[in-house]
Amino acid sequence: MSIQSNAINSSIDERYLLQLFNKYTNNKHVESSFEQNDTWPIKIYTLGRFRLINNGEPLTFPGRAKRRPLEMLKALIAFGGRDVSQERLSEALWPDSEGDAAHRSFDTTLHRLRKLIGNDKAIVLQEGRLSLNSDVCWVDAWAFERLQGKVESILDNTTFFNAKDDKTDEKTHLSNNPYSINLEEVGLLCDQTLSLYQDHFLSHSTEESWCLTYRERLRSKFIRLLRKAGRHWENNSQWYKAVDCYQRGLELDNLIEGFYQGLMNCYRQLDLNAEAIVNYNRCKENLYKYLNIKPSKTTEEIYDSLLN
């Protein structure tokens, strides 16, 4: 079973997640993100290895013949997937073709793409604009974006309480707050959202310029969520959970100083000063090696606190 399928078909009850999101967000789009297994005949995975699933069956694309139609599908997703003009797609896919030639290539490739997907309703062409039918197609990147926005808003706007906390009065008080949520629940929401981001958008299949903007946007959202989730866990003294977020962030980009600072803070709280110092040294080394700068004042202050 693939990593993605593992995340999706994990032991966590998706209906429960759905209830949680509805409880805190009351948003129907979020609902659609989790109902992956049954609702959509076509599932498209773009975060990491590109995969296309039709009614549970992975489609394979041997040879070069399918390359163009698949590129068209990828570009369509990269451009937002809705109402993408024929001209924009043609320019991305056939930059050297003009007029009728580009138009013919577009028509032929679209016909082959529809045939390849095996579902006539998956792609809609209307008034020269192409859209992926969101009633038929589920796209992991779109699900990630929707959930990321919702989780961020929950992290930004909620008051948290620990379900294991025995302070009944406090719990009752917070439960009356429509935005209160317990730590286990928010952990579940964060984990599920982060698990959708297996790797960068189309990272193994294309380096074309048309995919870069969307790739960077998703990457940026993922990093922001890791930061916020890490901070959330720190605020609730869940140090190891925060460490997981920061380490994942550094695996993605080892020049983001905030992640080192977070790690140093967490290890200090866990009385693991040696680990904290190791991370300070890593930070110092990488910043100097790649950016030719020293750690910031904040990083140095955390480091000093470790020595005292």
Partner 1 sequence: MESYIVRIYRQEDARSEKMVGVAIEPGEDKEHVFNNVFELYKLLTAKKNIAEKPFICNDNGTAKSSM
Contact residues: partner 1, CB under 8 A: 207, 209, 212, 216-217, 220-221, 223-224, 253, 255-257, 290-293, 296
How would DSSP label each residue in 240-301?
Answer: HHHHHHHHHHHHH-TT-HHHHHHHHHHHHHTT-HHHHHHHHHHHHHHIIIII--PPPHHHHH
Residue 17 or 283 with smaller CB distance to partner 1: 283
Residue 114 or 284 with smaller CB distance to partner 1: 284
Q: How many CA atoms lie within 13 A of 64 on its CB side?
A: 0
Write down the least CB distance from residue 41 to partner 1, Å. 32
Write down the least CB distance from residue 307 to partner 1, Å. 24
Residue 57 or 207 with smaller CB distance to partner 1: 207
Give how far the C-alpha of residue 213 lies from the chain's centroid of Cα atoms, to the nearest Å. 15
Write down the least CB distance from residue 199 to partner 1, Å. 16
Residue 17 or 211 with smaller CB distance to partner 1: 211
8 Å CB contact between 42 and 142? no
Residue 4 or 286 with smaller CB distance to partner 1: 286
Write down the least CB distance from residue 257 to partner 1, Å. 7
Partners of 160 in beta bridges: 181
Write down the least CB distance from residue 229 to partner 1, Å. 15
CA distance 6 to 192: 11
